[in-house]
Structure 1
């Protein structure tokens, strides 16, 4: 009976050690951080492309309309008087 318990405990301990080794070697702990970093890089690239596209617009009314839309999509309030986007809760 004791032999069966010892073998079972050895199997569990071995499986746990194998999991830790595989997780460390494959970088399992780093995947969430890598995904977040990838999202940040993608967002920065999209923002740069958007800014470039806005700069290429020739009509000032088009630029203002796009700026207002981007401001609203990002949760801000566009102030027509200043032409700026105010971040924060809407009042």
Structure 2
């Protein structure tokens, strides 16, 4: 986790698959994941080869709903997520 002077937040997550290849982490699933977060004010991209999605979260995005979606997806086993850069507003969304 890295603090930056900018008010933008970086988040990435990896879409996990089990030993049988389920769920299939494909271009389509990465695109749908990016679109779900895009509706909350983020931009981002999916990288199928390494099953990763990177999000750019501007300060005007819906931070509490983004955090909730990230946490729900992890609880459901859809992905594991990490923060790349953290802002005070993001930390406040975790508390609130």
TM-score by length of 2: 0.28
Of Structure 1 and Structure 2, the greater strand share is in: 2
TM-score by length of 1: 0.29
